[in-house]
Amino acid sequence: MNSHLSDSQKDQILKDFIQLAQNDSQLKDEIKSSRNQDELIALAEERGFHFDSLTLLRKWSEHTDFSQPTWMGWFSD
């Protein structure tokens, strides 16, 4: 995969993906219905955004509600 990318590059790719999702209600719905990180990563890759589960874990650590998957904290609604 894209192991040649640095953590900060993958973090930026994830931020860009979240930004896209915030402006695309269909994508947002698909993200919210992802049952696991593999589904979420596949969804991102379909759109050309390549990051890994460690990137999601780093993003997750920014949230305080650990009872839900990372991506539930991406959207305020």
For the stretch 45-59, pLDDT in tens is 999 999 999 999 888
Q: What is the Cα–Cα distance from 25 to 55, expressed in whole angstroms?
A: 23
pLDDT of residue 23: 95
DSSP 8-state code for residue 71: G
Q: What is the Cα–Cα distance from 25 to 67, expressed in whole angstroms?
A: 24
pLDDT of residue 1: 52
- For the entire predicted model, the pTM comes to 0.82
Is residue 30 within 8 Å of residue 43, measured between CB atoms?
yes
* 8-56 residue pLDDT tens: 999 999 999 999 999 999 999 999 999 999 999 999 999 999 999 999 9
Is residue 31 within 8 Å of residue 43, measured between CB atoms?
yes
